[in-house]
Amino acid sequence: MTQTRRKAIELLDRHGLTPSRALGQNFLVDPNTVRRIVRLADVGEDDGVIEIGAGLGALTVALAETGANVTAIEIDRYLLPVLREVTDGMAIDVIEGDAMALDWSMVLSGRESWSLIANLPYNIATPLVCDVLDQVPKVKRLFVMVQREVGERLAAGPGEVAYGIPSVKVSYWATARIVGRVPPTVFLPQPKVESALVRIDRRATPAVNSDPDVLFGLVRQAFGQRRKMLRRSLADKVSPEQFAVAGVRPEARPEELGIIEWGQLTDALTRV
């Protein structure tokens, strides 16, 4: 099924609905962009796919047409009849639910490997990605469409302007890269910002074998005072001797350290 802007408007009108600003709804209404996302997401026959925020079902249907087994999650109960109408007769499971409060063990039962694909609103994009990486190991790959600045934060490396706590979190669990840009014109309604397509592939094991609670405690504290040198922002946690053991310059600022250096700093706390 090809869902154009005109067809999406007709679908909403027929059900007496309008996009919800509170839920950050911007529906994808460009068939070429839908096909591009499916191609870049690299899913196919018998793959397990969970789609967050299925909306009007344009991407949901396109994913199912690859032969993937699709579970579509939608929080808006008013959209569910629309989504079920659009996906009627297809092998798609439609579930009403809040992605930030899902029982993942139930939703992902039956197979050990899933890809998560989502058009995410600004307010949940970063916490959802981080929570899935932390708590849902069955999700081996995430392919998310997010506001460009969010995408840049998720995929940023050390020294880049966007590099911060989410970047370190992602790099601990996975590799991430921006694989495309999406203009506002392909959405209904049109947002005021450009979007980015981000592919995140979970590592077989975390990037470093360090205590994650200690590591991210250091990361949060350091980035909470990111303009300060580490010897000041972490003065109550890391001694000069520990900086030396870690091979990390105490004059460095948090955005200069990659996940390996954060791991070394974490490990040094147990050695000195």
Q: Which CATH number characterizes residue 83's domain?
A: 3.40.50.150
Tens-place pLDDT, residues 22-50: 999 999 999 999 999 999 999 999 999 99
Same domain, 56 and 87: yes
Residues 184 and 73 occupy one common structural domain:
yes
Distance CA 145, CA 97 (A): 19
- 207 within domain boundaries: no
In whole numbers, what is the pLDDT of the chain averaged over residues? 96
Domain identity same for 54 and 185: yes
In a domain, 262, yes or no: yes
pLDDT of 272: 64
Q: Which two tokens stand for residue 176?
A: 């991430």
* Same-domain pairing of 197 and 216: no
> What is the pLDDT, as a whole number, of residue 123?
87
Distance CA 83, CA 52 (A): 13
Q: What is the CATH number of the domain that holds 255?
A: 1.10.8.100
The tens digit of pLDDT for each residue in 108-160 reads 998 999 999 999 988 899 999 999 999 999 999 999 999 999 999 999 999 99
Domain edge (last residue) among 144, 177, 202: 202
Residue 172: is it exposed, middle or buried by C-beta count within 10 angstroms (0-12/13-18/19+)?
Answer: buried
Among candidates 220, 123, 204, which has minimal Cα distance to 168?
A: 220
Q: Are residues 157 and 221 in the same domain?
A: no
Name the nearest CA neighbour of 200 among 259, 119, 144. 144
pLDDT on residue 1: 55
> What is the pLDDT at residue 2?
66
| Domain termination residue (choose one: 202, 220, 253) | 202
Contact 37, 143 (CB under 8 A): yes
Residue with tokens 């203009």: 183
Q: Could you tell me if residue 259 is inside a domain?
A: yes
Query: Beta strand pairing status for 114-119 and 139-147?
Result: parallel
Percent of the chain having pLDDT more than 70?
A: 99
In a domain, residue 169? The reply is yes
Is 13 domain-assigned?
yes
Do 221 and 174 share a structural domain? Answer: no
Same domain, 97 and 23: yes
Q: Which amino acid is at 234?
A: L
Residues 24 and 127 in one domain: yes
Sheet hosting strand 114-119, strand order edge to edge: 92-96, 69-74, 48-52, 114-119, 139-147, 195-202, 174-182
Same-domain pairing of 60 and 180: yes
Residue 117 within any structural domain of the chain: yes
10 domain-assigned = yes
Shared domain check, 227 and 154? no
Residue 226 CA to residue 217 CA, distance in Å, equals 14
Domain of 257 in residue numbering reads as: 212-268
Among 202, 233, 255, the domain boundary falls at 202
User: Cα dist. 41→38, 70, 181 in Å?
Assistant: 5, 13, 14
Distances (CA, A) of 61 to 32, 64, 162: 14, 5, 34
The reply to whether 128 and 218 lie within a common domain is no
For residue 260, tell me if it sits in a domain: yes
Distance CA 258, CA 127 (A): 21
In a shared domain, residues 198 and 217:
no
Q: What is the tally of structural domains in the chain?
A: 2
